[in-house]
Amino acid sequence: MSRNTNPLKLLWFDCAFGVSGDMCLGALVDAGAPFKPLKELPEALGLKGVTLSRRTVKRSGLRALKVSVKVDEGAQKARRLRNVEGIISKAKLPDAVKEKSLKVFRAIFKAEAHVHGSKLEDVHLHEMGAADTLIDIVGSVLCIELLGVDKVTSSPVAVGSGTIKCAHGLLPVPPPAVAELLKGVPIHTGIEGMELATPTGAAIIREISKEFGPMPDMVLEAVGVGAGTRKIEGQPNALRALIGKSCRPLKR
């Protein structure tokens, strides 16, 4: 029997300037993922009062795509893991998308339970369980599926340094949940004095990527740049997604 030597479609995330959920979503849409299925995603998830939009912005002189999720008052609420599992399991989406999305969310809940010393079923995720985070995670997984990617890899992740204020008070950077999520993943400081990797972004990269390291050998086909919300002086608050065909057969 002859061995299949067809090139694989590869996706490499360039996390040199950090990663967040909206940056992942913007980079994948900018790289060619169709936007129409994303606009229909709130309905597929049964989320009312949620809409998506996109616009081109600049981050430190670099063009990037910002995908924004607008949530009406009342649609943004805390959810437990069982609530998120129910929403995703009932969604009108491919089984592979639901399975991978649940994997990302379970990683977040486990990390939060660990750092707060709580039982998994007792964890309430306010920002993480909100409608916009559901869109960021499920939307990113859906985009990868629609792009027909065979293998996802990533660079080491810039996490930042310093401290941040949150609902629990002052926390170190990377925040405890991000540090827990990125165990086993190569990280570096990047720009100092601010948070560069969010729990949502860290979970997506950790659970979706098969390997971490330099960009793989490939014939480059598309480059997407996804913008974060903040404007950071001296560097683009953006994530790149590079997509191409492998130059030689790769072991799966």
CA distances to 8, 151, 238 from 252, in Å: 10, 8, 30
List, for residues 9-36, the tens digit of each pLDDT value.
999 999 999 999 999 999 999 999 999 9
User: Given CA atoms 220, 29, 144, 126 in this order, what sign does their dihedral have?
Assistant: positive
Q: From its phi and psi, is residue 99 left (phi > 0), alpha (psi between -120 and 50) or beta?
A: alpha
Place of tokens 């607008």: 70
CA distance 85 to 98: 9
- End-to-end Cα separation, the chain, in angstroms: 18
pLDDT tens track for 122-180: 887 775 558 889 999 999 999 999 999 999 999 999 999 999 887 778 889 999 999 99
For 184-224, the pLDDT digits (tens) are: 999 999 988 889 999 999 999 999 999 999 999 999 999 99
Paired sense of beta strands 218-227 and 238-246, if any: antiparallel
Pairing mode of beta strands 62-71, 50-59? antiparallel
Q: CB-hemisphere CA count at 13 Å for 224? A: 28
Token output for 244: 């191409």
> Which two three-digit tokens encode residue 160?
């930042």
Tokens of 7: 């090139």
247 contacts 144 by C-beta, under 8 angstroms: no
- Whole-model pTM: value is 0.92
Other C-beta atoms lying within 10 Å of the C-beta of residue 30? 25
**Closest by CA position to 146, among listed 24, 2, 34, 27:** 34
The Cα 133–Cα 130 span in angstroms is: 6
